A and B are shown apart, each in its own frame.
Chain A
């Protein structure tokens, strides 16, 4: 009972602290969804400790949502420059394939495998960056190429086999727990802090927002928009590689056909729900994480209520269309004319 109280008080406090930040709206939506579950979905908030680790729907949300959260970090930066990366799901498959091949077939060490898988992600990101920044191909088109070919490359690496692995360190990555909480949570938080430092500890975040906000003016200012764009695609590739590691670890094998399938779309959705506009400019890293959690909570809710996983896309589609409409300048104009009582969100840093 007291845990319940602490949780809701904490959530309310979180909302209050962020009341004038853009992250408020996705956070509020997440809170409402959780509240709905608190009263109507039996057992959703049940947590139990077995073998020193937590189990329950909330833990599942974090564990299952970790891949989209990792992808969303990279996708946020890409979208902030006014681009999009459709290939991250396929890059996950490639990274997973490299990982499994290196430990399962080549029998090299776990460290080598992880480094190789992340390097594959970086390389794939660099390819996208080269097409977008170097050859100036429209981002949807440029990343479509790897989206189409990526799974084929992953299968080529594993020779079409599903390679299983048992190395404890690799299994721990996606299934282990640290201080009773899933290790993926630690991983996501670490990556979030790293990303925040990367963009706010350097001028990269400012440059990304400048390029996304007004590319012409950025050019006139002496900024190299192409270098910034290249970097964000490389970073998105790295995030996808990491997510690929988690996905492979979850099932202790590399499945080139299904690893990360459609996750690029979830990641884009998480970013948009989190308050970063598809047109680029200001980005919300924390918002994207909340967006990813919101999407995962929605899926877990449906699952907990015994709705078939196959039908889950329907509510997701409704969320997409609702978010689209809320971001529509046409609809916003109409709403703005109706009244100006909505609180203004300030463009703060993520």
Chain B
């Protein structure tokens, strides 16, 4: 393994881990039940869909692009699954269809970006509107999922019991599995290395023989599939689908990636860092709930403030190098 060293690339990552620890320990000292296992488990379970989607967006940012369609695709997937199950499809089939749809949606955006040299910002903005509208075409309002697969199998059978009263929800398991899989993909596959290379310097990567078009289309495909998986996890969590939900989720996802040490210019970032970023957002939310008197909007302000600090940190590091 790589030796631990405080190179400029790892400073943001170390900083975000430090922020997470400070926030968490601070919470434990300030509030009685904050340090309980239940709070910790819920931190993973409640933010699982955000985490899965944020990991998709991390790959896109690593490649030097951006994906604004994440929140809308998560919502579309959730209502698509609920709708398909409502029409009598088995949940597993509905999930498979949704994942394939998400991947195809991402592939389409990636193709437009790569083949027609369009700005990712505008194409994924179009994707966002399209997915948001399509969700309402599928079903205009919230639709609950009433199927034994969801009610018993996912909620009961698949959750891992810790104590008699406490178990780890399947959503948390999904999140951890995705983080592990994505970390391996990013670190030990040629695709993962090519994504980084393109984000760091596309011109050099081309000269070095990296397949640019294939890799970039694949990145958006992967992000689309992970957004869809985020939608799947969201249906596990909510036991329903809603086309109007997750507005602005892409902002939280981008914020989580940036706070977790991914540079928005591409090329530098860590998948576990994004998990750290997601957990920081979760801890801030939990802190505000525990505090009681502070209102929920402090979450947004705190996230914005952290985003500013980390972007500033990135800027200082990049400039120092020049």
Binding site for B on A (CB under 8 A): 84, 135-138, 140-142, 144-156, 159-160, 256, 261, 265, 268-269, 272, 278, 308, 310-318, 320-321, 324-325, 327-331
Minimum C-beta distance from A321 to chain B (A): 4
Residues of A within 8 A of B134 (CB): 314
Least CB separation from B300: chain A residue: A152
In the assembled complex, the Cα of A269 lies from the Cα of B112 at a distance in Å of 17
Residues of A within 8 A of B301 (CB): 149, 152-153, 156
A314 close to B311 (CB less than 8 A)? no
Contacts A145-B311, A155-B297, A160-B295 given; indicate if A314 touches B137 (C-beta within 8 A): yes
A321 close to B126 (CB less than 8 A)? yes
Least CB separation from A310: chain B residue: B136
Q: A256-B297, A313-B129 are in contact. List 16 more A-B contacts (CB 8 A).
A: A136-B315, A140-B66, A142-B311, A145-B307, A148-B303, A149-B304, A152-B298, A153-B301, A154-B297, A310-B136, A316-B133, A318-B126, A325-B112, A325-B116, A330-B115, A331-B116
Binding site for A on B (CB under 8 A): 66, 112, 115-119, 121-123, 125-130, 132-134, 136-137, 140, 243-244, 247, 251, 254-255, 264-265, 295-305, 307-308, 311-312, 315
Residues of B within 8 A of A151 (CB): 297, 300
Residues of A within 8 A of B126 (CB): 317-318, 320-321, 324
B112 close to A324 (CB less than 8 A)? yes
In the assembled complex, the Cα of A265 lies from the Cα of B311 at a distance in Å of 23
B118 close to A312 (CB less than 8 A)? no
B121 close to A140 (CB less than 8 A)? yes
A141 close to B130 (CB less than 8 A)? no
In the assembled complex, the Cα of A331 lies from the Cα of B136 at a distance in Å of 32
Least CB separation from A158: chain B residue: B297
User: Could you name 28 residue pairs across A and B whose Cβ atoms are closer than 8 Å?
Assistant: A135-B312, A138-B264, A140-B66, A142-B311, A145-B307, A148-B300, A148-B303, A149-B300, A149-B301, A149-B305, A153-B304, A156-B297, A159-B295, A265-B128, A265-B129, A268-B122, A269-B125, A278-B121, A308-B140, A310-B244, A313-B128, A313-B132, A316-B133, A321-B112, A324-B116, A327-B118, A329-B117, A331-B116
Residues of B within 8 A of A310 (CB): 133, 136, 140, 243-244
Least CB separation from B304: chain A residue: A149
In the assembled complex, the Cα of A316 lies from the Cα of B255 at a distance in Å of 26
Minimum C-beta distance from A82 to chain B (A): 12
Contacts A310-B136, A317-B133 given; indicate if A325 touches B118 (C-beta within 8 A): yes
Residues of A within 8 A of B132 (CB): 313
Minimum C-beta distance from B253 to chain A (A): 11
Q: Which of A149, A159, A316 contacts B129 (CB 8 A)?
A: A316
Least CB separation from B295: chain A residue: A160
A320 close to B125 (CB less than 8 A)? yes
Residues of B within 8 A of A265 (CB): 125, 128-129
Residues of B within 8 A of A153 (CB): 297, 301, 304
Minimum C-beta distance from A286 to chain B (A): 22
In the assembled complex, the Cα of A314 lies from the Cα of B136 at a distance in Å of 10
A330 close to B137 (CB less than 8 A)? no
